[in-house]
């Protein structure tokens, strides 16, 4: 987190097919991401924030962060689909 910034927004979108809006309206969640985004301090062991695991297109928002290094971890949720291969895109935005 560079000086002058204190907020991070990170979200995951599906690469192939499906949409977040469609997945939220669908009972099958077809085309959804099924992932979790976690923000950690630079040490990698202190968790700062976690996205909602059950959101079809997870969004993580961290506010009031101090300048310094952080780590983002994206993990596929194999609970719903243990043999699935996840094809997702991570987007990150740093804000004041």
Domain count, the chain: 1
Q: Taking all residues of the chain, what is their mean pLDDT, rounded to a whole number?
A: 78
Binning pLDDT at 50, 70 and 90, where does residue 16 land? low
3-state secondary structure the chain: CCCCCCEEEEEEEECCCCCHHHHHHCCCCCCCCCEEEEEEECCCCCEEEECCCCCCCCEEEECCCCCCCEEEEEEECCCCCCCCCCCEEEEEEEEC
Q: Model confidence at 92, in pLDDT bands (50, 70, 90)?
A: very high
1 found inside a domain: no
Tell whether 32 is covered by a domain. yes
Does the reported pTM lie above 0.85? no
Q: What confidence tens digit (pLDDT) does each residue in 31-72 have?
A: 455 678 899 999 999 999 998 776 767 889 999 999 999 999
Reported as half-sphere exposure (CB side, CA atoms, 13 A), residue 8 has a value of: 27
Task: Copy the structure tokens of residue 7.
Answer: 């907020």
52, part of any domain: yes
Assess if residue 23 is contained within a domain: yes
- The predicted pLDDT at position 27 comes to 47
**Residue 13 forms part of a structural domain:** yes
Q: Is residue 2 part of a domain?
A: no
Residue 37's domain comprises: 7-95
């Amino acid at each position: 987190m560079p000086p002058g910034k204190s907020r991070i927004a990170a979200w995951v979108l599906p690469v192939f097919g499906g949409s977040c809006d469609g997945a939220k309206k669908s009972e099958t969640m077809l085309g959804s991401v099924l992932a979790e985004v976690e923000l950690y301090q630079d040490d990698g062991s202190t968790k700062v924030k976690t996205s909602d695991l059950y959101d079809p297109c997870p969004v993580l928002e961290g506010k009031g962060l101090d300048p310094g290094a952080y780590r983002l971890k994206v993990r596929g949720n194999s609970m719903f689909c243990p043999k699935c291969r996840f094809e997702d895109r991570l987007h990150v935005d740093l804000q004041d």
